[in-house]
Amino acid sequence: MLLPVRAGKVPAGSDTLFAAFEHVIDDWVERCPGDSFQYYHVGSAAVPEMEEWERFCSDANRGLLAGAINLMTVPPLEVQRRLADFPYVVISLKREDMQHNSPDIEFDMAEMFRKQLELLISKGCRNIAVLLNDNMSIAKNLAILNIAEQCPVNCPRRWIQGMNLTHTRTLFYDNLLELMFSRDQEHVPDGLVVQNENFLPAVLNALGRLGIIPGEQVKIVSHGNLPVVRPQTAGVDYTYFRIDRVLAEAIGLLKRWKAGLLHDRRIDLLIPPSNDVTYR
């Protein structure tokens, strides 16, 4: 019996990671009918739903749960204290900002970026612009800037810009892309990395307004999760993370914890990107 805690901040369908995770859990249950999963919609780290955390703690303390998977959230410190030796893992984008004394599974965004650059270069791009999630950790951002700096084509810092889902309005997406793709420059980007696929609709809309055709004047590569749960965008290439592997690693870590094999709980596990699109 294994039961994940899931952040409930993002409404179903609005972020592909949550939908893909639900999908691989359904697959897991089909293969291992003895295992069951319980969802807790605990909100985000910034805005926790305390009543739901309370329900989770109560279930954990009554022995109803074998362990917990925290998807893009971290138990509030008060909950962490109450969990004591209860096994849990965190699937996050930035351990450095999210304090917890448990295994942490992160996506290797730097390696993904390297692959995305390689893909664009192999398609002939020589002037590459990048739109990153601006709330990623500083460490990841610095690693990405470093890869950009060392790449054999033109990928200057002024073409590496931050966007975010929570604050930035479409207004500013438009203006930012108009500035990045201004023809009033010696070079104009012919390749674009859109790190978060959730930005794609706004980015494609802005490019359309500027008369720039994705896949023609500019090659675009973005990030996706496997299994693919949302129709993919024409004119865009994707680099994927396999979410079934994330679930398998999380469950493996919980089992090792329960078996007393996790001497140091502060394990950092990096999930590499995969372009194995034959999955499913």
CB of 98 or CB of 267, closer to a copy of itself: 98
Question: What number of chain residues touch a copy of itself (CB under 8 A)?
Answer: 32
Rounded least distance, CB 268 to a copy of itself, Å: 21
CB of 140 or CB of 242, closer to a copy of itself: 140
Establish if 97 lies at the interface with a copy of itself (CB under 8 A).
no
**Under DSSP, is residue 128 helix (H, G, I), strand (E, B) or coil?**
strand
Rounded least distance, CB 106 to a copy of itself, Å: 18
Q: Which stretch binds a copy of itself (CB under 8 A): 7-15, 30-38, 137-145, 211-219?
A: 137-145
Long-range CB pairs of 53-57, under 8 A, 24+ apart, other chains included:
53/79, 56/5, 57/82, 57/83
CB 230 within 8 A of CB 19: yes
Determine which residue in the list 1, 12, 47, 213 makes contact with a copy of itself, applying CB under 8 A. 47
d(CA 16, CA 210): 27
CB of 128 or CB of 246, closer to a copy of itself: 128
Rounded least distance, CB 141 to a copy of itself, Å: 5
Closest of 257, 266, 255, 211 to residue 95, by C-alpha: 266
**Under DSSP, is residue 176 helix (H, G, I), strand (E, B) or coil?**
helix
**How, if at all, do strands 104-107 and 128-133 pair?**
unpaired
What b/e string do you get for 226-258 counting C-beta neighbours within 10 Å, with b at 16 or more? bbbbbeebeebbbbbbbbbbbbebbbebbeebe
CB of 36 or CB of 182, closer to a copy of itself: 182
The dihedral through the CA atoms of 142, 144, 147, 149 has a sign that is negative
Q: Collect all residues with Cβ–Cβ distance below 8 Å to 235 and sequence separation of at least 6.
A: 204, 213, 214, 215, 216, 220
CB of 11 or CB of 231, closer to a copy of itself: 11
Radius of gyration of the chain from Cα atoms?
20
Rounded least distance, CB 143 to a copy of itself, Å: 12
Establish if 227 lies at the interface with a copy of itself (CB under 8 A).
no
- What is the secondary structure of 106-117 as a DSSP string? EE-HHHHHHHHH
CB of 142 or CB of 277, closer to a copy of itself: 142
Establish if 141 lies at the interface with a copy of itself (CB under 8 A).
yes
Binding pattern for the stretch 153-192 against a copy of itself, x by CB under 8 A and - elsewhere = ----xxxxxx-x-xxxx-xx-xxx-xxx-x-xxx------
CB of 179 or CB of 213, closer to a copy of itself: 179
Rounded least distance, CB 174 to a copy of itself, Å: 7
Rounded least distance, CB 154 to a copy of itself, Å: 12
Rounded least distance, CB 176 to a copy of itself, Å: 6
Which stretches of the chain bind a copy of itself, using CB under 8 A? 46-47, 132, 134-135, 138, 141-142, 145, 157-162, 164, 166-169, 171-172, 174-176, 178-180, 182, 184-186
